Amino acid sequence: MTSSTTSQTPISETPGASEVELQIGGMTCASCAARVEKKLNRMDGVTATVNFATEKAKVSYPAGIQVADLIATVVKTGYTAEEPPPPQPEVASRDEPDHREQPADPELAAYRERFTVSALLALPVVLLSMIPALQFDNWQWLALTLASPVVVWGALPFHRAAWTNARHGAATMDTLVSVGTLAAFGWSLWALFLGDAGMPGMHDEFRLTVSRMDGASTIYLEVAAGVVAFILLGRYLEARSKRRAGAALRALLELGAKDVSVLRDGREVRIPVSRLAVGDRFVVRPGEKVATDGTVVEGASAVDASMLTGESVPVDVSVGDPVTGATVNAGGRIVVEATRVGADTQLARMAKLVEDAQNGKAEVQRLADRISAVFVPVVILIALGTFGVWLGVTGDTVAAFTAAVAVLIIACPCALGLATPTALLVGTGRGAQLGILIKGPEVLESTRRVDTVVLDKTGTVTSGRMTLQEVYVADGADEKELLRLAGAVEHASEHPVARAVAAGAEERAGRLPDVEGFENVPGRGVRGRVEGHDVAVGRLYDSLPAELARAKEEAERGGRTAVVVGWDGVARGVVAVADAVKPTSAEAVRELRALGLTPVLLTGDNRAVAEAVAREVGIEQVIAEVLPEDKVAAVRRLQGEGRVVAMVGDGVNDAAALATADLGLAMGTGTDAAIEAGDLTLVRGDLRVAADAIRLSRKTLSTIKGNLVWAFGYNVAALPLAALGLLNPMIAGAAMAFSSVFVVTNSLRLRTFR
């Protein structure tokens, strides 16, 4: 058994450097983010990371450079930039809770509208063009009527982006989409109005022969409209995933208290939490959240800190003990003196950790940027070169233009727009049936390379609920009687240990008697009178018989919480409770090992408990007694050792670590913050699903990569044929259609995943 404890690592900043986060507008694809990032990094001393999903740029800049200079550089690149607005003061009150809803995303609504309208208009165009039996006299003019709004209005974002790129001497996939669709549409207009395609009785069909055609009688409206509809589908799905990118932060920040009762001149005054200052004293009653980090100056209680430590047992606090903001007071009234407020609090630091972890950029995204930066200009040059060579050799403008259009059409990334969305839709649909939620394609990249899986203990490997495990009875005492008396007293308490003892006692000994004179001794236990006996449960006995002392020590050594039970002043036994290991956890660990993963147990619980749980499920490496910052540091340390780390967790305390890990798997039975920070969500809360999730993720990623290879592969293979005049635009359109069919059918294979 290897055991280690990470220490808290302070957050350090680079000397002489400042940081700012800019909101970037106008980006339409990952290439745009790459361009902005490249321009910013060209500035002396500037280090920038632009996240297309969150539309934010995290910039570190030296002295001598102003934020205005950074914004000006972004604007010169063709995009907008501004600093995030300061947080609004909290005005919620106790009587008026905050029920604000997130505003609708105009970008998402715009793409949804464009896709819906374009798809409805493009479908009859494609059917009419591809099925001769549906073609009637002058059908081509109906196709033009339907395709025109798709090419002009539906593809407007691509045209705008292409124009912006052209003004700055750049080219992206938007450029190719715009040029390809406009070329196909423009040729169709020429053929209809100036050629022979507009004559009554004109029919169109696929001709899969390598032969020259009369370009003046051929239209490509289905190509123009179909490409736009498919690409809009991809952009809509992309915008929807961007909408959810900041949900982890919102979930974290919503955990904090909205208002607080501050002591002013001996009176309680309720004010918004934002108005709290260091040194203020505030009251926290049972069931209320601690408003901010502070120190207890009056009273004693039990505080539920599970969101920070993962520990299922509330922490007993008294005068002088620190408490953390957003934790819940589970016991008596306490008065706390604020020591940290605002951005300095533990909760705010957790939110900052999650945000920092989300600022990374996926490798597939970077690869796509590099490919598009080369692919698009090359295609345009090939098309221009094809036109020039054909015109120079043959002197036939129609033939030259036909070959050039064929190059553009064959290169249009129709299948590229389907490659990721269809595989993701089918993969996520199948995953939902298995209790697995996959958020997006960017989170799948590391699944094939993952070699280490870090498992949170409480709520992940264990149930997160305390249960009665063992009962030790002294000589002369009866186990059933001990359980009845102990359960009766503990039944009157709300402490999780007490609830576990009471529930276990009722299950094993039957109906519990009533208790009289119940008393809660803060930090030590409970006592009361049951059936004529003065019963005490907890740490209320200064000395124990040797056999009970050994039993208590053995239970604690095994990672259990041991409480002493006695009556009439004599200790009679020891009951041990523990967070029960899920019955499927050991099997899940074996399945993860079978996938080539090394399991590591990471928990805020004490080392004895963690090692006992690890032994039970078959985990060798344990990292225990860690706070949220330490969990992040532990994940980063493993990554620094060259490991590719997957993290499985369920609590708020796991959110930052889930976001930092190469692959975050959140238990669906856990907190919203963990679910939103994770890349995958295990809906059923069964750890065995983690192995299925990794297998499904790997399969989905493999399918996406296969689709992308085909989407680019047919272009690369067919471009020379088109340039040599061996392909006409109609055959190019057929190749595009076939590539789309291949991509869809390949993606549908994910439905059979087991």
- pLDDT tens digits for 172-203? 667 777 887 888 898 889 889 988 888 887 87
pLDDT of amino acid 211:
42
The pLDDT confidence band at residue 150, using thresholds 50, 70 and 90, is very high
Distance from C-alpha of 412 to C-alpha of 406, rounded to nearest angstrom = 10
Distance from C-alpha of 453 to C-alpha of 87, rounded to nearest angstrom = 37
The pLDDT confidence band at residue 455, using thresholds 50, 70 and 90, is very high
H helices within 434-495, ranges in order? 479-490
DSSP state of 530: E
User: Which backbone phi and psi does 82 adopt, to 5 degrees?
Assistant: -155, 155
> How large is the average pLDDT for residues 660-682?
81
Please list, residue by residue across 51-81, b when 16 or more beta carbons sit within 10 angstroms of its beta carbon and e when fewer do.
bbbbbbbbbebeeebeeeebbebbeebbbeb
Distance from C-alpha of 1 to C-alpha of 688, rounded to nearest angstrom = 23
pLDDT of amino acid 1:
47
Whether 246 shows a pLDDT value over 60: the answer reads no
> How large is the average pLDDT for residues 400-405?
77
Class of residue 727 by CB neighbours under 10 A (exposed 0-12, middle 13-18, buried 19+) = buried
* C-beta separation of 573 from 479 below 8 A: yes
User: Which backbone phi and psi does 80 adopt, to 5 degrees?
Assistant: -110, 155
For CA atoms 36, 39, 43, 48, give the dihedral sign.
positive
- Tens of pLDDT, residue by residue over 514-535, are 899 898 887 688 999 998 899 9
pLDDT of amino acid 626:
82
The pLDDT confidence band at residue 427, using thresholds 50, 70 and 90, is confident
With a CB cutoff of 8 Å and minimum separation 6, the contacts of 483 are: 471, 504, 505, 508, 509, 575
DSSP state of 215: G
Please list, residue by residue across 580-595, b when 16 or more beta carbons sit within 10 angstroms of its beta carbon and e when fewer do.
bbbebbbbbbebbeeb
- CA 317 vs CA 231, 267, 270, 625, 743: distances in Å: 58, 24, 24, 18, 60
- Tens of pLDDT, residue by residue over 2-59, are 443 333 333 334 456 788 889 888 877 666 777 888 889 999 989 888 876 567 888 9
Whether 223 shows a pLDDT value over 70: the answer reads yes
Cα-Cα-Cα-Cα torsion 465, 469, 474, 476, nearest 10 degrees, comes to: 110
Distance from C-alpha of 585 to C-alpha of 2, rounded to nearest angstrom = 19
Distance from C-alpha of 437 to C-alpha of 509, rounded to nearest angstrom = 43
Whether 737 shows a pLDDT value over 60: the answer reads no
Reported as type and span, the H/E element at residue 291 is: none
* C-beta separation of 188 from 144 below 8 A: yes
The pLDDT confidence band at residue 227, using thresholds 50, 70 and 90, is confident
Residues 3, 5, 6, CA angle at the centre, nearest 5°? 140
Whether 637 shows a pLDDT value over 70: the answer reads yes
The pLDDT confidence band at residue 254, using thresholds 50, 70 and 90, is low
pTM exceeds 0.95: no
The pLDDT confidence band at residue 381, using thresholds 50, 70 and 90, is confident
Catalytic residue IDs:
456
DSSP state of 457: I
Q: Which residues pair with 664 in a beta bridge?
A: 647
Which of 97-106, 196-205, 301-310, 442-451 is predicted least confidently? 97-106
Nearest in space to 43 (alpha carbons), one of 58, 22, 60: 60
Nearest in space to 490 (alpha carbons), one of 454, 541, 530: 530
More confident residue, 259 or 367: 259
The pLDDT confidence band at residue 127, using thresholds 50, 70 and 90, is confident
Average pLDDT, the chain: 79
More confident residue, 370 or 508: 508
The pLDDT confidence band at residue 537, using thresholds 50, 70 and 90, is very high
The pLDDT confidence band at residue 415, using thresholds 50, 70 and 90, is low
pLDDT of amino acid 91:
44
pLDDT of amino acid 221:
87
